[in-house]
Structure 1
Amino acid sequence: MKFRGKIIDVACLNHFTRVITTISKLTKMCVLRLTPDNLFFVLSGKVANGGVSMWCELSQANFFDEYQMEGVSSEDNEICLEVTPENLSRALKTVQNAKAVKVKLTKKHCPCLTIAAELPTLSSASRVVTHDVPVDVIPRRLWHEFKEPNMPDFDVSIYLPPLKTMKNIVDRMKNLSNFLVIEANLNGEMNLKIETDLVSVTTHFKDLGNPPWGDDASQDGGASQSRDPEAMVEARVDIRRLQQFLMGQQVNPSKAMCNIVHQRVVHLILLHEDVSLQYFIPAVA
C-alpha cells in the first residue's frame, strides 16, 4: 500500500485547503478514500437512524502535479483511511506559501499522512516543514460502507439561493428554534420556516429555478411529472446541521442544489468545476 502526491501550483494548494477546511466544518472524523483517479471524503452516517452523511469527490488531476498510489491489491486498487479533517486543514494552512507540498502515506509510531512543504527562503538553502497527521487504515471488509450514496428518489429538486444570504437567515432563525422547515416546489419557490408556540417566521425565495435532471433521476419519473408545480414538499431538520453546512462553505460552488424527499431527507449538492459535495440531512418528526 503506497500513496504519494505533490502539489506545486499555489492556486491548487489554496483550493485543496479550502475543500479540506469545508469538510472539517462538517465532520470531526471522515474516511479518505484514495483511487488512481479520485479522492473521496466520506461520512457514512445512517440517515435512517438520524445521522447526516457526506460524499465529497475530487479529481486528483485537478490538484496534484504528481500522484502515485498502489492499493491493497491489483483488483482492489484503493486505500481507505480514517482521518480528522481538522488536523489536515491545520497542517495545510501553515504551508500556504510553499514552493511545493508533498503528501505521503507513512508509517511512524502509527500510520500517518505526512505533509512535507518546501518553504521559500532568502538564502539558497531550502527549508522543509513536516506535519504528521495520524490516520487509521480501514480494512477491506469494511469498504462497502463507504461507497457513493444513491441519489434519493426526491419529490422536488431546486437551486439554492446565494449561500451567504441563506446562512445569514439561518443564523438569525437559530435563536428562535432548534428546528427549521425547508419547503420547495417545482415552480422555483422555496421557504425557510420556523414555527413555535410563540413565533412563526417564514423567509420566501422565488424564481430559483429547478434543475433539469436526466433520465436516471426521479425528476423525470411519474411522481414529480404529475405533481402540481405549486404544491410544496417539505422536511423539518435540525437547524444546527443546516447551519454547520452553510458555515463551512469555502468551495464557492458554481451550482448549489437541494433535493427534498417529503418529510424524509434533505439532500444538498454543491458543484464546482473539480469538486462535488453531497450532504444528507435527515428529517425529524
Structure 2
Amino acid sequence: MKFRGKMIDVACLNHFSRVITTISKLTKSCVMRLTPDNLFFVLSGKVTNGGVSMWCELHQANFFDEFQMEGVSSEFNEICLEVTPENLSRALKTVQNAKSVKVKLTKKHCPCLTVAAELPSLSSTSRVVTHDVPVEVVPRSLWHEFKEPSMPDFDVSIYLPPLKTMKNVIDRMKNLSNFLVMEANLSGEMNLKIETDLVSVTTHFKDLGNPSWGDATSQDDGASQSRDPEAMAEVRVDIRKLQQFLVGQQVNPSKAMCNIVHQSVVHLILLHDDVSLQYFIPAVA
C-alpha cells in the first residue's frame, strides 16, 4: 500500500482544511477511504456513536496537484484508514500559509499520515514542518461496513433554510429541551418544535422549496406524488446531534437539503462544487 499527495494551491489547501475541520466537529473517529479518484470520510451508523452515520466525498483532482496511490492489490485498489479527524485538522491548520503540502502514508512507530509542509523563508534554505498523524489500517474484511449508504425511501425532501439561521434557532432551543421535532411537507414548509411540560416552542419556515430527484429515486417520487402536499412528515431527534452538524459546518454548500423518513431518520445533505456531505440522524422515541 502506498499513498502520496501534494497540494500547492493555497485555496485548495484551505478548502481541504475546512472540510477536515467540519468532519472533526461531527465525529472523534472515522474511516478515510482512498481510491484513485476520490477520498471518502465515512462513519457507519453503529450504536456506539448513537446511530449517527456520515458519508463525505471529495474528488481528489479538485484538491491535489499530485496524487499517487496503490491499494492493497490491483483487484482491490483502495486503502482504508481509521483516523482521528481532529489530529489531521490541527496538522493542516498549522501549515495554511505553506508553499506546498505533502501528505503521505508512512510507517513510523505505527502507520501514520505524515503531513510535510514547505514554509515560506527569507533565506535560500527552505523550512519544512512535519506532522505525523497516527492511523490504523482497516483490514479488507471490514471494508463492507464503509460503503456509500443507500438513499433512504423518504417521505419528504426539502431544501434547508439558511444554516446560520437554523443554527441560531437550535442554539436557543437546546437550552429548553434535549429533543427536537423536525417536520416538513411537500409545500416547502418546515417546522422545528420542542415540547416540554413547561414550554412549547415552534419555529416555522416556509417557501423553502422541494428538490426534484427525478428517475434516481423514482420509488420515492411515486410515494411523494400520492402524498398530500400539506401533510407533515416528522422525526424526533437528539437536539445535540443536529446542533453538532450545524456548528461544525464549514463547507459553505451551494445546496443544503433534508430528507425525512417519517418517525425514522433525518438525512441531511450538503452539496458543494467539489464536496458532498451526507449525515444521518436516527429518530429517538
TM-score (norm 2): 0.98
Question: Whole-Å Cα distance in 2 between the matches of residues 136 and 2 of structure 1?
Answer: 14
1:246-271: CA deviations, max 9, x gaps?
00000000000000000000000000
Aligned residue number for residue 276 of structure 2? 276
Tell me what 2:97 maps to: 97
Deviations along 1:177-211, whole A, 9 cap, x unmatched?
00000000000000000011110000000000000
Residues 192 and 202, structure 2, Cα contact 8 Å, conserved in 1: yes
Equivalents in 2 of 1:219, 1:159: separation in Å?
A: 20
Separation in structure 2 between the aligned mates of residue 104 and residue 168 of structure 1, nearest angstrom: 39
Tell whether 2:41 aligns with 1:37. Answer: no
Q: 1:109 maps to which residue? A: 109
TM-score where L is the length of structure 1: 0.98
Equivalent residue number for residue 79 of structure 1: 79
Instruction: Describe the superposition over 1:192-239 as per-residue Cα deviations: whole angstroms up to 9, x where unpaired.
Output: 000111100000000000001021215753221110000000000000
Deviation at 1:84, TM superposition (A): 0.1
Instruction: Supply the distance in 1 between the matched residues of 2:204 and 2:27 (Cα, whole angstroms).
Output: 29
Match of 1:46 in 2: 46
User: Could you say what secondary structure the match of 1:24 adopts?
Assistant: helix
Q: Percent identity?
A: 90
Q: Could you tell me how far apart the structure 1 residues matched to 2:12 and 2:70 are?
A: 23
- Distance in 2, Cα, partners of 1:110 & 1:194: 47
Which letter maps to 1:56? C
Which is further off, 214-223 or 198-207? 214-223
CA RMSD of aligned residues (A): 1.3
Q: Give 1:136 shift.
A: 0.1
Q: Partners in 2 of 1:95 and 1:198 — Cα distance? A: 50
Match of 2:246 in 1: 246
In 2: Cα distance, 1:45 partner to 1:220 partner: 22
Give, in angstroms, the shift of residue 138 of structure 1. Answer: 0.3
Residue of structure 2 equivalent to 1:203? 203
Preserved contact between residue 218 and residue 224 of structure 1 (Cα < 8 Å): no
Tell me how far apart the structure 2 counterparts of residues 78 and 180 of structure 1 sit (CA, whole Å): 39
Displacement over 6 Å in runs of 4+: none
Partner of 1:133: 133
1:111-153 Cα distance to aligned partner (Å, 9 max, x none) = 0000000000111110000000000000010000000000000
**Aligned position for 1:180:** 180
Unpaired runs of 5+ residues, structure 2, are: none
Structure 2 counterpart of 1:251, one-letter code? V
Alignment partner of 1:27 is 2:27: yes
- Gaps of at least 5 residues in structure 1 are none
User: Which piece of structure 1 moves more, 16-25 or 210-219?
Assistant: 210-219
1:50 deviates by: 4.6
Aligned ranges for residues 223-242 of structure 1 at < 5 Å? 223-242=223-242
CA distance in 1, matches of 2:235, 2:204: 16
Q: Please tell me whether the aligned partners of residues 155 and 261 of structure 1 are also in contact (alpha carbons under 8 angstroms).
A: yes
CA positional deviation for 1:8: 0.1
Aligned to 2:258: 258
Question: Does the C-alpha gap of structure 1 residues 247 and 154 become closer, same or farther in structure 2, counting only changes over 3 Å?
Answer: same
- Distance in 2, Cα, partners of 1:281 & 1:219: 22
